[in-house]
Structures are given as structure tokens and as C-alpha cells.
Structure 1
Amino acid sequence: MSGDTLLEELGVSGLGEVDEAAFSELVERHRPELHVHCYRMLGSFEDAEDTVQETFLRAWRRRETFEGRSTLRAWLYRIATNACLDLLAKRRPEPATGGEVLWLQPYPDRLLDELPAGDADEPETVAVARETIELAYLVAVQHLAPRPRAVLILRDVQGWPAKDVAEFLGDSVNSVNSALQRARAGMREHLPAERQDWSGGEQDAGTRELVRRYTDASVATDVPALASMLRDDVRCSMPPTPGLYIGRDAVVKDWVDNGFEGMKGLRGVPTSVNRQPAVAFYLWQQREGAYLPLTIDVLRVTGGAITEIVTFHEDRFPRLGLPERLPADGTEPSSDGGAA
């Protein structure tokens, strides 16, 4: 709906004549896609939530400036993008380095399912939407400087014309095109080379079987079995804890050094986040008489092997729609079996 059509439908000459309830109804329909846009910009689910709220607050305060020359959606994207840039300038003046993003947070697939369908029948559009929400893409994009990052997301992910992006950012079209080329070069440097082989989105039977084996081996703390599923150059991280382990030997050594083999009382629940296979792990707590959230492993699968594991802490479970506890099932360890 164009801006003029929107104002005509409302029977007003500008948004300044719309009351707060009507204004809220108008902008809320854009919340899901704005939230994902801010998440791609920031890499943090919580920061995206805060920035969308800031976007709506700014929009309400500046509603008189919307006169129908653009769509409401474009106007909101402009405000949201600049709100993201303002937050990045304040909190993270420098982009990520070293291949890890300590502020990275997962995004629930259930919220991705709420996004407008758009050109759902276009395979390329569907592929772009899926691949640009996966964790490897988000890590790569966080290594770009903020303004080229904004240009890349607006042009290559959202598909906004260069003229619109220039207007959003207060730049020239030439400046936007130059920033886009720099951003694309940066992404080639930081993205895994085999991106076209990722098993994201709809998981095939082979990926589901691999996830099942990974879950079973993790619950059994069977390190050799887990190691057999890892590719030689596997990457493993646990944001916000610093440390990026690269290579099967380094990953396995970290598991052994941290006493994983002695852990008892695990249960695993297969799930998916960021359009990737994942496993939520729960640990038996004797005092609670239940399995409580521990960590969630998000997997990248390439060619039938695990090429990346990103582990998030238990505080992510509620946002991901995962159970807060699992009941006893008769297989709990004894009280001296290592569970607190």
C-alpha cells in the first residue's frame, strides 16, 4: 500500500492526525519483519527487540513527517535502520573480529514463521531469506562496518533499490553502490566457502538421522562417537563466552578438558532455530526432581558432517519456546550420579 493510498484510506492528510491506538495498529503489522531486520543488523535478539521499540517510539514522535511520499513500510525501515546504526555507534563502535561474535543470540523459528510470505513461490527469495538468518551469515555480517552492513542487508537481503537505500541513509546512490561492493567483498572473506551445501531450512532424512545420532551420543557422553560426526575443520563456540575452537582435535580436547565425559543425567530434545537443526539439552536436578535447561547446540551440517556447533546457555530456552523443565522418565541417575 502506497503512502498516499494509506492516508486516503484513513481519511487524513498526514499521520499527525491519527490517534495513538490507530497509529499502533498501523505500525504493529510491520513488527515481525522489522524485528528480523534489526536482528540481522545487530546479531542480538534482545537488542533487536529494544531497537524495534525505539523505532516505534521515534515513528510516533515524528509522525507528522510522514506525508505519503513513500510507503509506511519504507518509512519504518528508514527509522529502524538508523536506530540500529545509532545503537551500534553507542554500544559496539567496532565490528566483530576473529571469526566470533560474543553478543550473538539465536532466533526462534516460530517467530520466523510469522513473517509475511512475500514471494514465497520464488525459490531464490526463499533461499535468501533462509540463508541470511543462519548463524554463519550473521557472524559474517557482524564483521562488517555498520554502514556497509546496513547497505548489504537492505540491498541484498531486503531487495530495496539503491535509490531508496541512499534515501534511508542520507547518502548518494554512488556511495551506496560503493559500500555494497565493499560489503560483498567482506562477506566473501568471512562466509564459509561451501555455503551452497548447507543443510538449512527443510532438513532431509540424512540430516535428521545425523541429529538423532548426535543427540544420542551427547546424552551418552560418547566423545568418540561425537568426534566421528565432525568434519576435520569443524568450528565450535559458546557466546558470550570467549573462545573459538577450530578443527576436530581442538574441539574434542575442549570437551575432554571440561569434563564432558563425566557428565551424567542429560536429555536431548531435537529442535531448530535460525532455520538450522539444533538440540536442546537438559540436566537432571535431584532437588527439583526434573530435568532443567542446560544448553542448546545449533548445528551447521555440510555434506553429511557437522561443520559448526554454536552453543547457547539455558537463558535462551524461554524465548525459543522450549519447555522450562522435563519431567522424570524413570531413567534418572542415582543421587550420587553427578547431577546437582
Structure 2
Amino acid sequence: MPKTEADENPVLINEDVELVQAALRDAAEKLRPALHGYCARMLGSTIDGEDAVQDTLLRAYTAIVAGSRPPEMRFWLFRLAHNCSVDLLRKRRPEVSLDMEYLSEAADPHAHDPLEIAMQKESAQAAVSSFLQLPSAQRSTVILKDVFDYELSEIGQFLHMPLTAVKAALHRGRARLGELAKTPVQRTQTLSASPELRRFVEMFNNRDWPGLISMLSEDVHLSQTARAELRGRQQVSSIFYKGYGEVQGWRLQEASIEGYECAAVFLDDPNTPAYFMLLHWQGDVLKSIRDFRYARYVMNGAEIMF
């Protein structure tokens, strides 16, 4: 029988489950941006990355209720995030290789080599989508080392890889990202905004809340990532008047991200969006809104097009 997350951690009978749940909530709040950064790069998608984070936290809560007592919360959550990312890749992108076969030769990445330092900085700044072009072992090691600064020994423990394989995967992954950075990016053609999105953006920017609310379906679903879930026109309408309506100086603009049209939200910086909203329509009726207002970490490495 395959092991579960609960099986990997010893059960401590005297441990207060409420204390462990509180520790999980505290860790989740602090680590959520980092967990998303890892998942998004593993999946090559900032949107799928947030789905993986939500699945990670659900698995963690379920495992704790079942008796799991992780000895170290951060390491455990990252391990769960890795597993969730792999599962989501298998489901949504079966064409992506998940081969974790290790490289036989180990090129030692010298920590003080100026070239290696430059490659590490380049890796940390690479767009989310570029990581998906690396083999799985290289992708994981580069993310853990160059984005989150894990020790090589920790990465080996995390991925169940020998140290020589970690060094080799890191070296080759950095080199491959460097090659990708020099390759001209083939931009996907910007999506032409739908009439519904243009109307939504115009009404929002004019603060025409009655007109905007008239576009909502009776069973509309608003998900404010990492904050609230609202259902039904009455509940969602209150957000426009009491939430969005109370913020001054922000505006929306039609955009696209990862092939989906979205509403980019501009706040303090008129040239750089602070976050975005994903809108799902059924005809000209708005069925759901996925609002990343409270999860602005999704913008790190995201590629929004106008």
C-alpha cells in the first residue's frame, strides 16, 4: 500500500491537535507566497501554482487531523507542495516529462564562482513559464537553491537524491535557463478582449456598481484567494460597494495571462498591475470571479499581456 503524508510523520499521542492546527495556520500564512513560488515554477503557471498551494494546505490539514505530526513544518509543507505539483502536472499537462532520472556525472557548482553567482541570480529572476522547459530534477533543484536558497544537502533530502546528482542537476538547470534567457521569446498573440470584459472594466472604472451587478448571475461565485469565498448575487454585490468601492485611485485594464483573458488591477503604480482578476462568463452573464487581491504574490514571475 502506498504511503500517505500522514504515514511519513510519527503520531505523537499526547500532542494537542489544536496546537498543531494553529501551527499549520501560522506557517501557511507566512509560507504561502514561498509555496506558491515553488509550485508556480514547477508547473510553469502562476494560476496552476495557486491551485497547487490550496491543495497542499488541504492535504496538510487532512494529514494532521488523521494524526500526522510533522517534526518541521516548513520542510513538510514544501514536500507536500512538491507532491501536489507533480500530481497536478500529471493531470493537467501529461505531455510534460516527470522523469527524475539523475545525471551520472556531477559538475560541482562552486558557490564563490562569479559565473555561478550570475547564473544563480539569473535563475531567480527567470519567468515562471521558463522553468517548465527544464527536466523535473533540474527544475526542482534550481528552484529550491536559487529561488529559496536551500542547502544542497537539504535539497537532496527533500528530493531523495544523492548530493552528486543534486549538484549535476543544479549546474545543468542553471545552464539551460541561461540558454533560454538568450533565446528570443515567442510571445503568444494578445487575446482580443471580449465585449463582456470590456463592459465590466468600463463599469468598474466608472464605479457603476448597479450596472456591474446587473451582469452577475444569481449564483455567482467570488473567490478572494487566501481570504473569502462568497456565493450568490447578494453576497457578491456587497463586495463591490463595501470592498472595491472604498478603495480610491485604482483602475482595471483588459489583459490576458496564460491564455486567459483577465482584468489587470492597477493601484499605486500606473504602469505595473498590482494583481489581476479572472472572470468566467456564460454568455453575457458573469458566473465567477477569482480575485487575487489578497494574494499579490502571484505577480512574481507572472507574464500579463495587454
| Alignment TM-score, normalising by the size of structure 2 | 0.48
| Alignment TM-score, normalising by the size of structure 1 | 0.44
